[in-house]
Amino acid sequence: MLAQIKSYFQEINLIRKTPNANETTYRTPLENLVNIIWGKNFTVRQEASSETGIPDFTIWNKSAHIIGCIECKKPDFDLNHVLEHKKSKEYEQLCKYFTWAKVILFTNYFSFYLLEWNNEEKDINVLDKVLYRDVKNLLCDDILRLLNLFVQARPMPVKNRDSLIRMLADKTKYLRDMILDELENSESYLAKSEIQTLFSKTLYRDLDKQDFADAFAQIITFSQIFCRLTKHTDISRQDFANIPAFIPILKEILGKFNLEEMSRGILYLIDSIIDTVNIYDEAIFFPQGKSYKDDHDIEDPFIYLYEQFLKEFNPQARNARGVFYTPIQIVRYLIKSTDEILKTRLSSAKGIIDNNIHILDFATGTGTFLLSAIEYAYKELIEQENKGMWKTLVQDFILKNLYGFEYLIVPYILAHFRIYEYLKDCDYKYQNKERLKLYLTNTLDQSEPEKFPLFTEFNDEADAAQKVKTSTPILVVMGNPPYNSKSDPMNSKKWIQDELKIYQEDGDKKLTGTEKQKLNDDYIKFLRFAQWKIDTQEKGLVSVIVNNSFLDGVSHRLMRKSLMESFDEIYIFNLHGNGNKGEKTLDGEIDANVFPIQSAGVCMLLLVKTGKKSNPYQGVYYQELFAPKREAKLSYLNELSWQTDLDSNRWIKLEDTPQWHWFIPRAAQNKYWDEFRGLAEIFSVYNSGIETGKDELIIHFSEKELHKALEAIKTQSPEEIAKLYYLKESQSKTEQLMRAKKEVENNQGNITSIHYRPFDFRKIYYAKKSGGITRRPVYDTMRHLIDNDNIGLMFVRYVVADIPFEHILISSNIIDKNFTAYQTYFAPLYCYDKQKELELSEDDKNPNWTDDFKKFLEAYHTKTPEDILSYIYAILYAPSYREKYADDLSYDYPRIPFTTDKKQFDDLFALGQKLIDLHLMKAPPSSKPSFPIEGDRRITCIEYRDNKIYINQDQYFDHISPDVWNYTIGGYQVLHKWISSRKDRILDFSDIQHVQQVAELLKETISIQKEIDKYKSVWDE
């Protein structure tokens, strides 16, 4: 062997002297050398020289598993330099190769480094190295030792499921990137093929290259691992053409896909994925002696694999699309309840296994609801000693009357495989062309898909799905739809948008634009589809778990009314769990969610349409569950169902409230709703505050800092601006910044003051055009404040968290949308009919009252608009008013009682005027806290003790009582919020005076509030 090594170096040196020699010229001698040394036990494959992103050689053992790779550089290339500079592209490339290789031989054809990956330190270790000196000092023994050490490496071990999933996710990411690169090459096989066009013009309308590459990479990976899980034997590239016939469109897509036409880089990664899939120990998914049927409800291997894969591969997509496994306890509760309601309310004696019943899972996901329905049917037959009917039940019911719709292709494939495995373990194998009627389709899109002559199975699947949507008599709609308040474009097609109008308009009752946006959540669209589908039948049932925001949302009132008109029995099991609301158990602990989400609570919903003209059980029924642990909630649901809860009197019948139709227990106070006037009924013009989308850039503490930002906007690129001012970079943000740049350069905005947070006034560059420097300027409302003598009332529509109602303030400046912890509205006292650029007269200035309120005032006290506003302000600051109507204030605009007692009215508006003058900071305080200690005035901490607010170790504001320090407006502790937002800044003279003044006005506010409360008879019963 030593002679061969010497001969290798002689050949390399000769090539080195050859003109035009390049890196690849040296490959053949190296390949010949390692083949001689390693022999027939290993396969050395030289990868195409034109490919980037893959190693130069791959080494396989006799079992066809990758054990390592060789990465070559030009002679004289400094290998050690790469290993020392971990931010170099060469080092990053080596790290990437460890995704699929156990060891890497890193060489410049003269020196050799044997490398391995250090998992603990996420770094590269040097196992061995041989550094070339010259021909006379060849270390042939060392090179032989190093090469033998290389092939002693075993294939990349897969010790557990998480390791396997991480490896697959990493490789799939690289595969996605290579697919995307190939799509960019218009001459490549993939770019010319019909596959992307098929996806983008049928199911995935307007699918871009990035999304297609993402989806197609996942299809390749999961088609292979699912084949491995179901075949229980090693797989190969040939399995792309051997996809099971029970998923015909996947078989068709991959069958028409010529792998050999793909780039070597893509083929390399596919081989690496197959290698990883073949290496893992099957026992990590299927414990010895356990079948899928017996073990899947403990921890389903398919589900675990997919959820954890997405978590590693693309966690943002997982969250946005709601890809979370529905806990089996919830699914079983709903399946059993469905069976019970079918038997007792819908006249189906056989319940869920009736061959005349058609059941649709409208958001199948990974197939949990369909699988649980099949499992329930199987157990029913076993308990009834009717196992002999199983084959007939599968053929006549499961494969004929169970339907599923799923939009994402990997969950769709997964659902097919799961149900196949379960039926196989229950001794049923698909015959001929049998398949589950689970279709790849968009539930919310009723438009006809485009047809492709070469893809007959795809066309047939689209036609079958369309038939189920439009004409199949579905009796039961079940499932767990996605929750996404922003809603994917795929779920915003014209058909569903038109159908949503029933939730937005009812005669002369119409939702506002903002309210309509609240109905844009995907789960609402799916519920509307289910309602629409059952509306076409004489009777039916919707059995789902959904976001619970529609139960008491103000914007959902017409939705609730519509559901009550379609269904005569509605059962709501509220599981709560909304972390954003701060929901708590009776013991004061944070309430847990049954899903790994915090932004939304959930409920189980059973909507029953009996078809009976007179139903003694008609009504809305409710129960709820709080618990500090997810497991406690799920454990409670075990063995329960609609019927057991009915027998135990857990369902409470709700009284309907004609204005709101609440789906939760809510005791509205009649006087408040019948006699008081809402702010939306008083003010003609109001809107939420402005929204910049880039506060860090255009809102500043001083005009000097703002000018600096404006100069940056003029002179730097959007990308540089985003980095400088810590803005989240995105395509839409870049476009906004481009528009902002033009506005600043053309002086289309003005520097003005903004009331940013309670008593926190800042400087803003404000432009009236939407989507530029000010994303949402709300100019039609704010123009009445800008350069006009005016004030306005700030308020919120509702308060849903564990915060009392305290979201009221006055201002003479434009305000921020997030002035309080909730969306903050602003109503100017006066409206100016003409634009501010024109000369104004008193005739152009009109009170901002609705016509109805003007009529009300005609028969009331003759008072100025300022007096009326002062009276309203006093009411809204009354502690007993806030406490008494806390529940009512939590879900709509505040409502104001108007007393007919002139003295009470006069006294209240006088107190309100005092408050307004205080809060506009017109009345300087008679006394103020002290700031007694000299120092640098830098805010390094915010600490309250001994009636002092410390801003650093030495300096403090003194004589601040606890009730002043703790005083909150809009969910913000006023003094703490103002000081903490200036952390690390130095307070100047005016800043210190401002804090002193705010502290004193809060003290006086508390005193005036006590005076206002003496008139509580005005709002009390």
pLDDT in tens, 75-99: 889 999 999 888 888 898 898 888 7
Instruction: Check pLDDT > 60 for residue 323.
Output: no
Q: What integer is the mean pLDDT of 738-746? A: 90
**Residue owning tokens 């007919």:** 900
pTM: 0.77
The 10 Å CB-count burial string (b at 16+, else e) for 737-776 is: bebbbebbeeebbeeeebbbbbbbebbbbbbbeeebbbbe
Instruction: Give the residues across from 755 on adjacent strands.
Output: 761, 815
> pLDDT by residue (tens digit) across 136-163?
666 788 888 888 888 876 665 566 777 7
* Residue, of 767 and 736, whose pLDDT is higher: 767
Share of the chain above pLDDT 90, in %: 53
> Mean pLDDT across the stretch 588-593?
92
Q: What does pLDDT average to over the chain?
A: 88
Q: What is the pLDDT of residue 324?
A: 63
**Mean of pLDDT values over 803-820:** 93
DSSP state of 905: H
Q: How many C-beta atoms lie closer than 10 Å to residue 736's C-beta?
A: 21
Tracing tokens 């097609």 back to the chain, one arrives at 493
Per-residue confidence (pLDDT) for residue 320, from 0 to 100: 45
Of 12-26, 32-46, 204-218, 790-804, the range with the lowest mean pLDDT is 204-218
pLDDT of residue 658: 83
CA distance 545 to 22: 63
Give percent above pLDDT 70 in the chain.
93
Q: What is the pLDDT of residue 733?
A: 75
Distance CA 646, CA 77 (A): 78
Give yes or no for residue 702 having a pLDDT over 80: yes
Residue 57 burial (CB count, 10 A): 19
345-367 average pLDDT score:
93
d(CA 457, CA 340): 37
| DSSP tally for the chain: helices H, then strands E | 41, 34
Residues 6 or more apart in contact with residue 977 via CB below 8 angstroms = 757, 758, 760
CA angle 790, 794, 800 (to 5 degrees): 170
SS3 content of the chain, % helix, strand, coil (to 5): 45, 15, 40
Element (H, E) at 115: strand 112-118
- Residue 116's pLDDT is 87
- Residue 437 DSSP class: E
Question: What pLDDT digit, counting tens, does each position of 216-268 carry?
Answer: 898 888 888 878 877 778 888 887 777 888 999 888 888 877 777 887 778 87
Residue scoring higher pLDDT (325 or 398): 398
Q: In this model, does residue 183 exceed pLDDT 80?
A: yes
How far is residue 978's CA from residue 983's CA, in Å, rounded to a whole number?
10
Q: Residue 699 pLDDT > 80, yes or no? A: yes
920 within 8 A of 908, measured Cβ to Cβ? no
pLDDT of 536 reads 94
606, 479 Cβ separation under 8 angstroms? no
Q: Using one digit for the tens of pLDDT, what is the confidence trace for 448-483?
A: 877 777 788 888 998 999 999 999 999 999 999 998
What's the gap between Cα 295 and its chain centre?
A: 31
What separation in angstroms does the CA of 158 have from each of 233, 282, 714? 16, 11, 54
pLDDT at 827 over 70: yes
Res. 711: pLDDT tops 90: yes
Residue 632: which of 714, 704, 577 has the closest Cα? 577
Question: Are 373 and 335 spatial neighbours (Cβ–Cβ below 8 Å)?
Answer: yes
pLDDT at 318: 46
Write down the pLDDT at residue 802.
Answer: 64
Q: Is 123 left (phi over 0), alpha (psi -120 to 50) or beta?
A: beta
pLDDT at residue 315 is higher than 80: no
Structure tokens at 870: 């002062």
Instruction: Using the predicted structure, report yes or no on whether residue 561 has a pLDDT greater than 90.
Output: yes
Supply the DSSP string of 371-389, one letter for each residue: HHHHHHHHHHHHHTT-GGG
CA 714 – CA 692 distance, rounded (Å): 18
Give burial (CB, 10 Å; 0-12/13-18/19+) of 662. buried
276 against 540, higher pLDDT: 540
| More confident of the two residues 842 and 101 | 101
- Mean pLDDT over residues 944-950, rounded? 96
Mean pLDDT of 382-408: 93
Question: What pLDDT, on a 0 to 100 scale, did the predictor assign at position 157?
Answer: 57
Per residue in 900-912, pLDDT tens? 899 999 999 999 9
Rounding to the nearest 10 degrees, give the CA dihedral for residues 298, 301, 306, 312: 90
Q: Which amino acid is at 88?
A: S
Q: Which stretch of 294-298, 517-521, 647-651, 819-823 has the lowest confidence by average pLDDT?
A: 294-298
Angstrom distance (rounded) from CA 276 to CA 67: 11
Location of structure tokens 């076993």: 382
**841: pLDDT strictly greater than 70:** no
Looking at residue 646, its pLDDT comes to 96
pLDDT value of residue 136? 65
Minimum mean pLDDT range among 102-106, 177-181, 706-710, 883-887: 177-181
Does the pLDDT at position 995 exceed 60?
yes
The whole-number pLDDT of residue 251 equals 86
The Cα–Cα gap between 863 and 905 comes to 10
Task: Select the highest-mean-pLDDT range: 144-158, 177-191, 861-875.
Answer: 861-875
Q: How many CB atoms lie within 10 A of CB 791?
A: 18
Name the residue with higher pLDDT: 794 or 149: 794
What confidence score (pLDDT) does residue 174 get? 82
Selection from 634, 609, 479, 475 nearest residue 544 by Cα: 479
Task: Give 837's pLDDT tier (boundaries 50, 70, 90).
Answer: very low
**What is the average per-residue pLDDT within 952-959?**
96
Residue 319: which pLDDT band, with cuts at 50, 70 and 90?
Answer: very low
Instruction: Look at residue 322 in the predicted model and tell me its pLDDT.
Output: 47
Residue 100 has pLDDT above 80, yes or no: no
Specify the residue for token string 């910044």. Answer: 737
The predicted structure's pLDDT at residue 645: 97
User: Measuring CA to CA, how many Å separate 1007 from each of 100, 709, 806, 868, 878?
Assistant: 71, 42, 16, 22, 11
- Packing angle of the helix pair 409-425, 368-383 (nearest 10 deg): 10
Please give the structure tokens belonging to residue 591: 């309430």
d(CA 420, CA 468): 22
